Amino acid sequence: MNSQKVCVIGCGYVGLVTGACLAEMGHGVVCVDNDRGKIKALQKGRIPIYEPGLDILVTKNRVRKRLSFAPSIKEGLKDAGIVFIAVGTPPRSDGSADLTFIESVAREIALNLQRYTVVIEKSTVPVETGEQVEKTIARYNRRRVSFDMVSNPEFLREGTAIHDFLHPDRIVIGVKSERAEKAMRDLYAPLKTKVLVTDLKSSELIKHASNSFLATKISFMNAVGRVCELVGADATQVAEGMGLDPRIGKSFLQAGIGFGGFCLPKDLEAFLYISKKVGYDFDLLRMVKDINETQRAHFVKKIEEAVWILKGKTIGLLGISFKPRTDDIRFAPSLDIIHRLQTQGAKIKVYDPVAMPKAKTVLNQATFCRNAYDAARGADCLGIVTEWPEFGELDFAKIKKLMENAIIVDGRNMLNPTRIKALGFEYKGMGR
């Protein structure tokens, strides 16, 4: 294999996973970040995020000397001919992405280019950002070192990011030159998967459109679920029947409390904003967003209907992270749900296998429990917010004894209603 020298700028979620996986593929990688504290921690082997398998991969490749960490772009570009930009693009209040970090990184790259370099945007950015980055680098690139701009969107899911990177269903590269295309093909050659080569803007749009489509699928199913409830049908059965059609596919058809996390809500918002900016009102996406938001209120309403008056009631909640196998609570439906319940005077007891340290920094007045049984003890209702597999393995006969009232509202449809009802619970799912 043709091993290459790569610099990854930004040691956040995307940057670290990208750096560690490229090193695992045999490339020499330097990950840089301007947060010196973070770099020092990484140099000592401490990983700032929770992602299954990432710590092992980082340690293994540090020992092999394929992966190192540095505090400046200058150091990162000393040997590298390929540089990934993986810095944050946080959302502004109007839905647009804040590209301040991208711009300053582009300037830094320009000032430190040593040789022909392929500059790759990996962060999720609005369409046309690649062109802006290219212009910025050209403007500050006083020594006229040649470079090529590439868009290479990531499709990593939190919790399975390492697997997603090393076994992708497609690699999308938006390029302007054959030289850059060859460099990218060589870089990813060990992965042996479909490589789709497009122009720069189409590649950027593939990311917007993919995530917005996934969000649309979820909201569509949630809307179907609302109809199911009204007519007495079961959304999980409807989804199964729909998903057997390969044109539809069975994934992303789980009705529930809606999508959260740092990508889907942000990317949906950004696509809405960009479409409007260029002259198209993508109203469908507004509905997708609205349906998603109403699902949380709907879940709270189900709890309220079950206990009648929320004020003074104890509600046990299982799960805080926006999905299982991550400690990420950014834009997690749980936060909104807890806030709504507390506003109505309910007392919250909550348990999550990994997200509690993060949740403690943002949640007030909730009682954090040692385990799921503790969260159920004395509760008037138990709500399932995140479908951690271990919640499916709980001893529900024991839970029934611990609860004040045996009521379960299953926001993720993860339990078998027949089995739970047979134990004497009142059970409510979503869309069934």
Q: How far apart are CA 51 and CA 40, in angstroms?
A: 19
Q: How far apart are CA 197 and CA 179, in angstroms?
A: 13
List Cα–Cα distances, 387 to 55, 88, 133, 326, in angstroms: 24, 28, 40, 11
Q: How far apart are CA 151 and CA 392, in angstroms?
A: 41
Given the DSSP bridges, would you call strands 147-151 and 195-198 parallel, antiparallel or unpaired? unpaired
Q: Is there a catalytic annotation at residue 228?
A: no
List Cα–Cα distances, 218 to 215, 252, 264, 326, 420, in angstroms: 5, 6, 11, 20, 26
Distance of closest approach, residue 171 Cβ to ligand UDX, in angstroms:
13
Q: Which two tokens stand for residue 428?
A: 């409510």
Nearer to ligand UDX, 323 or 347 (CB): 323
Among candidate residues 358, 410, 359, 421, the one with its CA nearest the CA of residue 385: 410
Distance of closest approach, residue 214 Cβ to ligand UDX, in angstroms:
6
Q: Which of 31, 263, 369, 381 is catalytic?
A: 263
DSSP letter assigned to residue 310: -
Nearer to ligand UDX, 218 or 306 (CB): 218
- Cα distance from N-terminal residue to C-terminal residue, the chain: 53
Nearer to ligand UDX, 301 or 421 (CB): 301
Place of tokens 């960009």: 274
Nearer to ligand UDX, 157 or 377 (CB): 157
Distance of closest approach, residue 248 Cβ to ligand UDX, in angstroms:
12
Distance of closest approach, residue 150 Cβ to ligand UDX, in angstroms:
18
Sheet containing 347-351: give its strands across: 367-368, 347-351, 314-318, 381-384, 407-410, 426-428
Nearer to ligand UDX, 323 or 349 (CB): 323
Going 402 to 423 to 258 to 389, the CA torsion angle's sign is: positive
Nearer to ligand UDX, 18 or 117 (CB): 18
Nearest residue to ligand UDX, scored by beta-carbon proximity: 263
Alpha-carbon radius of gyration of the chain: 24
Distance of closest approach, residue 367 Cβ to ligand UDX, in angstroms:
24
Q: Which two tokens stand for residue 151?
A: 């868009």
Contacting positions for ligand UDX (CB under 6 A): 154-158, 211, 214, 218, 252-254, 256, 258-261, 263-264, 322-323
Active-site residue list: 263
